[in-house]
Amino acid sequence: MGTRDEGFELLGELAPELLAEPDVAFGRMFGSEGLSVRGKFFAFVSSHGDLVVKLDAEHIEASGLDNMVMRGRPMREWAVVPTADGIEHWRAVSRKAYEFVDSITPPR
């Protein structure tokens, strides 16, 4: 687990390539800044500095990621990617999260 500042630094490194995609923007969710597509969030930094991403539940299980836990309950389509996994893993998982949310979010 890293610090929140470390998490924001990693997100800042990978954000430009995702912000270049259509309809991707920065916004606020769960008291943190993150990336959304057409207003639906797909990646943000947790209070512990880890990356939290929205992915298909089967992909989360197959990839061995842990679900985000909110109020003691695992969130089925939200996974935690530790800061220690590094920028390249964050980049790959963020791209998958973008593709997943883009595919389930209707165009405006």
Name the DSSP class of 43: E
**How many domains, the chain?**
1
Residue 30's pLDDT is: 72
CB 65 within 8 A of CB 49: no
For residue 82, the tally of other CB atoms under 10 A from its CB is 18
Q: What is the extent of the structural domain holding 82?
A: 4-104
Residue 58's pLDDT is: 96
Residue 1's pLDDT is: 53
- Between CA 102 and CA 13, with CA 42 as vertex, the angle to 5 degrees is 110
CATH no. for residue 52?
A: 3.90.1150.200
The low-confidence residues of the chain, meaning pLDDT below 50, are: none
